[in-house]
Amino acid sequence: MNKGQIRAHFIALLNRSDCTNALADTFIDQANTRIKRTLRIPSMEKQYALTVSSASGVASLVIPADLLEIIELYYDGTTMVRIPLHEMIAYQKTGEVGTPQFFCREGGSIKIFPKPVSGIVYLNYYADLADLATDSAENTLTVIASDLLTYTALGYAADYFLDERGQVFDGKAGQFLAEIQEHANTAEQSGVNQVMRPTQLYED
Q: Give me the pLDDT at residue 185, please.
A: 85
Give the total number of structural domains in the chain. 2
Residue 28, C-beta contacts closer than 8 angstroms, at least 6 positions apart? 3, 6, 7, 10, 132, 149, 153
Task: Indicate whether 29 and 102 sit together in one domain.
Answer: no
Amino acid present at 195:
V
Q: Output the average pLDDT for the chain.
A: 90
Helix and strand counts by DSSP (H, E) for the chain: 6, 9
Alpha-carbon distance 82 to 84, whole Å? 7
Residue 56 has pLDDT above 90, yes or no: no
Structural domain including 51 reads 43-127+194-203
Beta-bridge partner residues of 103 = 82, 112
| pLDDT of amino acid 55 | 67
Residue 202 clears pLDDT 70, i.e. is over it: no
CA-closest candidate to residue 29, choices 128, 145, 150, 140: 150
Statement to judge: residues 166 and 145 lie in one domain: yes
Residue 133 inside a domain? The answer is no
pLDDT at 7: 97
d(Cα 112, Cα 104) in Å, to the nearest integer? 7
pLDDT category at 20 given cuts 50, 70, 90 is: very high
pLDDT of 143-179, one tens digit each? 999 999 999 999 999 999 999 999 999 999 999 999 9
| Whole-structure pTM value | 0.82
* CA-wise closest residue to 22 among 37, 44, 38, 7: 7
119 & 142 share domain: no
Indicate the pairing of strand 118-127 with strand 67-75.
Answer: antiparallel
Cβ within 8 Å of residue 172, ≥6 positions away: 147, 151
37 with 61, same domain: the answer is no
Could you tell me if residue 70 is inside a domain? yes
Q: Phi and psi of 53, rounded to 5°?
A: -150, 70
If asked whether residues 24 and 48 sit together in one domain, one would say: no
Contact assessment for residue 50 and residue 187, using Cβ atoms and an 8 Å cutoff:
no
* 132 in a structural domain: no
Query: Do 105 and 166 reside in the same domain of the chain?
Result: no
